[in-house]
Structure 1
């Protein structure tokens, strides 16, 4: 009788059915050993683009491919975004450990090939291979965490991942610069190999997960349609306003292709046995709300990371060499709050209040940053960044936690990949839309300058704004430099003011979250009852 009830558990509403789903809490010593491998893998995924970005000028100079430089990043980003949901589903169907090991292996093969590239075309192709593997790294880390640790206890370990994020953001550019200056740009890729080998050993030897045998087949049509939709969206946000005008036939065509693919994907997913992303998950209020919040967090975070260094270098005169250090205040706020929130959730089992606080604080941080001007001190701007980082610290781990707590164990990979995907897509849209607002505002500000000032800018730095960088600023007369810095400040004001407005959507979404008790310990029975209520809403 017990067996029959256990087998029937997947038919119940999602989730909090840890024991019914075959969940078995592991000894803390085993979990800590596995965490070493997971932390190293996450470090690989986050460091790569940051290290490579620092080395790009040297790579372009040696391989003679400046016109294709953007594709070195774009190929990696596209492959990562497109493969993320597929890795999540493969792990759920055929085993999380096996799919995770395969993704690490593909990432390392792509890293080795990228380091051996003899042309830009080769580098772009090999970066795409690397991106395919990277799509499974973050998903694998989060879904394995979900399979090993009850949500109630997960805060004990999530602080490590916040620390890795801060370390990667600050240390990535510094490591990339050191490697490029003292070794070779090829080692920005080769450095992944020893780290990846250590992670592989830990995962193979220490990680023990139940074997999954499934006769289900991958939804190939759904995978293709989703991939086309994601790639189209990322290309729109990458090319729009840069390679092509927003109203160009290329961008409009990509938009139509993206919409058609997503509509086709939704149609297919309702008719297959094992959909890539089961649409039924969005009937769960919490899952839908944290997906929206995750999108907004990516929107705000990547927008801030993309534009704050420009302001700090051009307006405040900070060194470009240590660009990673410029974002340390934001990372510090994120790290500290993430650690505190993780421990609090473990102690109380409550989480609903943190997304509400986080979205409000994030919006407040954006509002503070919208006041940046040519007179803002470095200390003041750093304090504003701490506030923005604190808001993200309330949200980063909680959104993943709630997404995983809203699904059955068999859909843990899908939940992890969906949360990651929404944050990634949000980041792409944030950088693109903020970039358009920023460029338009700066351009309009400069156009208002007297003709003689514009003439001096062109004589000193080339074609006005587009040619300005920290290296050419010293050539500008004081009045011209001041006028340009005011244009940059106006651009920052527009970007972060809109960021604060967008944050209101996340605030509204957080208010609709239900407090479904996290499974763990003596609360399991009560959690099961509350989960059933949540699934019925």
Structure 2
């Protein structure tokens, strides 16, 4: 018999050394997170090899007893074992969830509260030519910085990244409220838009790190459902504040609410389930971690395209050299960004492996059509079918048409998702119906907007 061949009568402990130890679902999740962090940050994993709470292999842990291996307690060859993820519970969890809901609600509120205040703003600054930029500046900066926020949350602490974005949003609101001119107001809207770019994505990232996987859908549905009420309350609060106080309070209202949230965020402990490098190590090579080249190309394409849509037909004809230059510049920047992002692979601004997945790009297309429909409701509907309304009445008259569906949709879809396992059929039907109804709402009247 070959001496290297293991006989059938070998001890059970010897044969079990080659078998994989049965693991629970929590241990497998820990292994997956450890492997992910090792692939993303190999140098960090190497530096933290001997730190408390890091990956331990069999060679580092030392030999285990035969009894431990027989019971499945000993370490397995080359299988990293990390501590069980620490999640939040009780009062700490609900404080964090409440902070995320309030911040998301403020973001949705700020996108619509300015609508009834625009006439008062243009009357004070005599800036009718800037009316389109009061809303567009916020959304353009939000869209331009949105891809970069994902990189920031990948390499920096979720808690403090979320904190900084909220501070930027508060600074933008302060600038808008204290503005002496229309130009400064637009600059404040840009700052607020940059801050809001990381507020919703950061809130969902915090939820994902605070609770186990099976609890995330319910809490995310709760956050999105309650946050959507902000866009419903925006015109109501904006009209009341403009009529009974001053239009500047449509921005000042964000300061006390956001300030309270900042105090709670500074006190709360928010875990990061994926290990991240030290902030100083990232800052030292910030240009490689955040891909500023890709961000510049992506932001340039978005800003050029949205600026062309804003100016076209109002200040410039669509066939004018300015419009042609903006559209061509946007197209060139977009093609260059796609080529650069493909070259960078998963280190690019938008990871190629993620962008190529059908659920990702189809969800992005769905959100594109949904937001377009929502903006028609928020900005244009009062001008067409609400003649003679005061600013404080325009919001409620508009809200009664779709507020109930907007707030409750997230909760209903969450229950259907748990029952049916898919949301695609509901998304297709609901969004198609919404676009048809918006078209009919404009077609039922021949009155032109004021």
TM-score normalised to structure 2 length: 0.73
Whose relative contact order is higher, 1 or 2, with alpha carbons under 8 Å and at least 6 apart?
A: 1
User: Closer, same or farther in 2 for the Cα pair 1:115/1:336, shift >3 Å?
Assistant: closer
Distance 1:201 1:372 in 2: 44
- Match in the other structure for 1:357: 426
Report the Cα offset of residue 303 of structure 1: 3.2
- Match in the other structure for 2:231: 169
User: Closer, same or farther in 2 for the Cα pair 1:271/1:22, shift >3 Å?
Assistant: farther
Report the Cα offset of residue 319 of structure 1: 6.0
1:262 aligned onto 2:330: no
- Match in the other structure for 1:181: 243
Q: Is the 2:99–2:261 contact (alpha carbons within 8 Å) kept by the matching residues of 1?
A: yes
Query: Match of 1:242, SS?
Result: coil
Distance 2:206 2:400 in 1: 29
User: Closer, same or farther in 2 for the Cα pair 1:167/1:289, shift >3 Å?
Assistant: closer
How many residues matched?
A: 371
1:218 aligned onto 2:290: yes
Query: Match of 1:212, SS?
Result: coil
- Match in the other structure for 2:115: 53
- Match in the other structure for 1:245: 317
User: Closer, same or farther in 2 for the Cα pair 1:295/1:121, shift >3 Å?
Assistant: closer
- Match in the other structure for 1:336: 408
Q: Cα deviations across residues 422-443 of structure 1 (Å, max 9, x unaligned)?
A: xxxxxxxxxxxxxxxxxxxx6x
Distance 2:375 2:302 in 1: 18
Distance 1:22 1:254 in 2: 52
Q: How does 1:40-189 map to 2 (within 5 A)?
A: 40-189=102-251
Distance 1:28 1:190 in 2: 33
TM-score normalised to structure 1 length: 0.62
User: Closer, same or farther in 2 for the Cα pair 1:374/1:127, shift >3 Å?
Assistant: closer
Distance 1:81 1:373 in 2: 27
Query: Match of 1:209, SS?
Result: coil
Gaps of 5+ in 2: 1-19, 21-26, 40-80, 283-287
1:292 aligned onto 2:365: yes
Counterpart of 1:235 (choices 291, 307, 321) is: 307
Q: How does 1:400-479 map to 2 (within 5 A)?
A: 465=448, 469=450
- Match in the other structure for 2:35: 8
Distance 2:164 2:335 in 1: 31
Report the Cα offset of residue 57 of structure 1: 2.1
Report the Cα offset of residue 173 of structure 1: 1.6
Report the Cα offset of residue 166 of structure 1: 4.3
Q: Is the 1:91–1:97 contact (alpha carbons within 8 Å) kept by the matching residues of 2?
A: no
User: Closer, same or farther in 2 for the Cα pair 1:367/1:67, shift >3 Å?
Assistant: closer
Distance 2:101 2:239 in 1: 23
Cα RMSD between the aligned structures?
Answer: 3.2
Distance 2:95 2:217 in 1: 17
Larger radius of gyration: 2
Q: Is the 1:229–1:259 contact (alpha carbons within 8 Å) kept by the matching residues of 2?
A: yes
Q: Is the 1:37–1:198 contact (alpha carbons within 8 Å) kept by the matching residues of 2?
A: no
Report the Cα offset of residue 195 of structure 1: 0.5
